[in-house]
């Protein structure tokens, strides 16, 4: 079980959080302009990487805020945590 440093609350147990899938997939501003393939790309395609992965997390049993996390999925090391809308601090 991780300890997650919520950018709004500080360090808390993983059980207070919910994982929300891959980060930085922006909802298209003009969905109607997209072909089926382009829309499917947004809707369905996720990377699911072994290694460094950018993820969304929600402090669901805390402040309920969403934030981003960079996590190495091979050893669960959390490399960085940053707020929604911010650029990832690591590559």
Backbone angles phi, psi at 34, to 5 degrees: -90, 145
Instruction: DSSP letter for 87, please.
Output: P
Q: Smallest distance from the beta carbon of 70 to Zn ion, in angstroms?
A: 18
Is 79 in a helix, a strand, or coil? Answer: strand
Q: Give the footprint of Zn ion on this chain (CB under 5 A).
A: 6, 8-9, 59, 62-63
- Closer to Zn ion at the Cβ: 39 or 66? 66
Beta strands in 1-91 (DSSP E): 3-6, 10-13, 18-22, 52-58, 66-72, 77-83
- Closer to Zn ion at the Cβ: 9 or 40? 9
Which of the choices other proteins, Zn ion, none does residue 35 contact, using the CB cut-off of 5 to 8 A by kind? none
Q: Smallest distance from the beta carbon of 89 to other proteins, in angstroms?
A: 18
Q: Smallest distance from the beta carbon of 88 to other proteins, in angstroms?
A: 15
Distance spanning both ends of the chain, measured CA to CA? 24
């Amino acid at each position: 079980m991780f300890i997650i440093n919520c950018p709004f609350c500080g360090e808390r147990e993983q059980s207070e959080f919910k994982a929300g899938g891959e980060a930085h997939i922006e909802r298209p501003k003009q969905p109607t302009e997209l072909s089926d393939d382009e829309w499917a790309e947004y809707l369905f395609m996720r990377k699911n990487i072994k290694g460094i992965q950018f993820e969304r997390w929600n402090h669901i049993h805390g402040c309920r805020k969403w934030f981003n996390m960079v996590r190495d999925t091979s050893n669960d090391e959390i490399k960085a945590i940053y707020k929604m809308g911010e650029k990832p601090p690591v590559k």
